[in-house]
Structure 1
Amino acid sequence: MADEPNRDPTADEMAGMQWWNSLTEAERADWLVRAQSAVPAEAWAAYKRHGAYDSHPRRHVPLINL
């Protein structure tokens, strides 16, 4: 998105922003650890990979075996 400043966010980007804004600080930290990144978009991708998005858009799944 940074390389295209004049475009509107995609539906997925909007969903990711809404998801991120709905999280507590602890939940954000947890998903950043899972993503092994400091980038919220990477945390969103990790969340979607985890499969929680389909059934519960905000569900917090505990960390296991990190």
Structure 2
Amino acid sequence: MVVRKRKPNKEDSSMFIYNNKTIFNKITQVISGSSLDKITKKYQGDFRSQHFDTHSHVYSMLSF
């Protein structure tokens, strides 16, 4: 049985670039942005916080 390698086309390379991200990076892209900012403002998540804000807390909990 002969296995032939096919040439990678443009679609394959773009799919590889998209899927070459870590799971942590994909999750933080979904969470970061306006959605986390809206929730933080709505529930006053950063009220009286001095150094450890809501974004840092979410990312640290995701890394465990």
Instruction: Give the greater-gyration-radius structure (CA).
Output: 2
TM-score by length of 2: 0.31
